[in-house]
Chains A and B, each alone.
Chain A
Amino acid sequence: MYGFLKMLRSRKIAIAGVAFLGILVILAIFAPLIAPLDPQGIDPVNRLLPPGKGHIFGTDNFGRDIWSRIVFGSRTSIVSSLGVVIFSVTLGIAIGLIAGYFKALNALFMRIIDVMMAFPSLLLALVLMTIFGRGLVNVILAVGITYLTRTTRIVYGMTLKLKEEVYIEAFKAAGASNMRLLIRHIFPNLTSPVIVQATFTFAFSLLDMASLDFLGLGLPPDIPSWGNMLSEGSIYLARAPWMLLIPGFFIVLTVLSFNLVGDVLRDQMDPRFRHDIKGV
């Protein structure tokens, strides 16, 4: 943790990322207190108003306040991305550890991973969404499965390497059970790469979910999400560009912040990047 803070100080722009994510979390938690208007409040008289007095980010095609929808949309975005991260990380660790540790499962596992990796992530999510139907939990599952393969692959690879280490052999010789070896001795060594992967999963799943929303195969249109706002905004592109620009900026800033933080985490956890490499 100390190392992370130190690293953060040397990269001013990453501090901005952390700050933005902090603001986002506050927006999401206190959404009903912060949003000035009902995100679903339809007001046909004041539709497609440009940003200005009364509506700082303007209104959409139903006269709904865009700022209020952004605030409530941050809830949806954080909850759904967090869902993807929790799903892919917990299952990924479990499957990766087991498949990497027990030799009998290696071949079968590699085959399945090979097959899953042969589907481009968005395509897989697209097909899964058509099976599941639109909905928050369904989006989390569909996108989560595509990230599951990546996390599993990382954990699997690390486990294969770690189980050959001398200290694992030593514990095994001392009579430690498989379960104990996996949980007490292999798992703790996996946490850093998994945390880094989780940060990037957070960022990229947000983009994938926005794409699904845009294609009309993500969240149901009545849930205020940034992706849905963009999808509606694309129709009114010429008349009300702010409907597209504002949620877009929020997505870009959020994803960028996560990427910045993920970068600092990775550099800090990977000792190769701690010092200047050039000329070593």
Chain B
Amino acid sequence: MRLFLPLYMAEGKAFDGAQAMLKFILRRIVGILPSLFLVSILVFSFVHLIPGDPIQILLGDMATKAQVDAVRQEMGLDKPIWIQYGKWIGGVVTGNMGNSIFFGQPVLSVIGDRAETSILLALLTLVLILAIGIPVGYLSATHYGTRLDQTISGVSMGFASIPTFWLGLSLMTFFAVTLKLFPSSGFPSILKTGNWANIRYLILPAITLSAPNSALIIRLTRASMLDVFKEDYVRTARAKGLRESSVNILHVFRNSMNSLVSALGFTFAGLVSGTVVTETVFSLPGIGKLVVDSVLRRDYPVIQGIILCIALLYMAINLLVDIAYGWLDPRIRYN
């Protein structure tokens, strides 16, 4: 277990080390703030560049100009854009992202309603990706150059080349429509019904989503392990007569975990892009589908809210990755 302790704890300088770590985290959080500010401006201007009038869409074609103007005034959309931004960002800081134009509810509660589906789907997918990606990548690396390695590389590249929605539709046709093994679409909430069996609604989407992403992890595990194979300490480990499996697991795999962890940020981005498509294919009531629907409805506040949340989450993950770096590689110090 000592192997997994970061240097600042293992060396008995826990206080100094932990303080350096804390400083590092604080510095990173402060560093994130300007980025977030830029993101918020970008998001806000992106969304307001979208052509189409949300009020007109909300009220329908039959609405008179007077009605449209009245609602516009009520929602504050007639004000200059920087005043709208100021009002919005002021709210965001206090946790109020405004109301959805379409639902009339606070944006955060609209997003919150959909979060369950997306979070469960992402977790299920992540488990699948890691459960498939790491062992297969390990196998590929330890059998470098053999037929097994070539087959794994070929198959995983094939999976990375499949359009997500095409795979999803094909799986749906075969397993849900023809074989009737799984439900084909929708997802009744587990939190509300308390029925864990509903997880079966997410199995096909999770398989769809994990196909291209586990291919990525397979390749990454393989490549980073191959990199470590060349290191002197691996030769030393072999030379001192360690079993091949011990060398592979304790020395090679453990030291290749750094690159794996750094890929988590990318995996997250890939998952989000994938969920947009997968949730649309399987009609899941998640955040990905909400984005597409909101874009089509010109529901500005919801689009802004989701993109801001995703950007925040992405930056938080990258921060965690940086912290995990030091955990995995004691040579990295935070000061």
- Which residues of A are at the interface with B, using a C-beta cutoff of 8 A? 13, 111-112, 114-115, 117-123, 126-128, 130-131, 133, 203, 207, 210-211, 214-217, 230, 234, 237-238, 241, 244-245, 248, 251-252, 255-256, 259-260, 263, 272, 276-280
Contact = CB atoms under 8 A, between A and B. Distances in A.
Interface string B90-133: 00000000000000000000000000000000000000000000
A126 B157 CA distance: 26
A252 B157 contact: no
B157 A263 contact: yes
A252 B310 contact: no
Interface stretch (B191-199, B266-274, B322-330): B266-274
Given A238-B173, A252-B161, A256-B157, A123 B35 contact: no
12 contacts: A115-B311, A119-B310, A126-B291, A127-B46, A211-B164, A215-B276, A230-B163, A238-B177, A244-B170, A255-B160, A255-B161, A263-B157
B166 A251 contact: yes
B161 A123 contact: no
A210 B34 CA distance: 35
Nearest to B311: A118
B203 interface: no
Contact of A277 (B38, B172, B229): B229
Contacts of A255: 160-162
Given A111-B35, A127-B295, A211-B277, A118 B169 contact: no
A196 to B, nearest CB: 13
Given A207-B163, A230-B166, A130 B229 contact: no
Contacts of B160: 255, 259
Nearest to A210: B163
Which of the listed residues A112, A126, A128 has the most CB atoms from chain B within 10 Å of its own CB?
Answer: A126
A111 B227 CA distance: 30
Interface string B22-57: 000000000000110011001000110111000000
Contact of B269 (A121, A127, A128, A278): A121
A111 B34 contact: yes
B65 interface: no
Contacts of A128: 46
A118 B319 CA distance: 12
Given A131-B49, A259-B160, 8 more contacts: A118-B311, A118-B314, A119-B307, A127-B46, A230-B166, A237-B173, A259-B157, A277-B144
Given A126-B295, A234-B165, A252-B158, A277 B230 contact: yes
Contacts of B315: 118
B76 interface: no
B163 A278 contact: no
Contacts of B227: 272
Contacts of B213: none
B224 interface: no
Contacts of B170: 244-245, 248
Nearest to B314: A118
B145 interface: yes
Interface in B220-250: 226-227, 229-230
Given A127-B307, A133-B51, A13 B154 contact: yes
Nearest to B47: A127
Contacts of A278: 144-145, 226, 229
A211 B157 CA distance: 19
B163 A120 contact: no
A127 B308 CA distance: 13
Interface string B252-285: 0000000000000000011011101100110000
Contact of A215 (B39, B49, B154, B277): B277
B320 interface: no
A115 B312 CA distance: 10
A122 B42 contact: no
A216 B42 CA distance: 24
A17 B39 CA distance: 40
Contacts of B295: 126-127, 130, 217
Nearest to B174: A241
Contacts of B34: 111
Contacts of A244: 166, 169-170
A45 B229 CA distance: 64
B302 interface: no
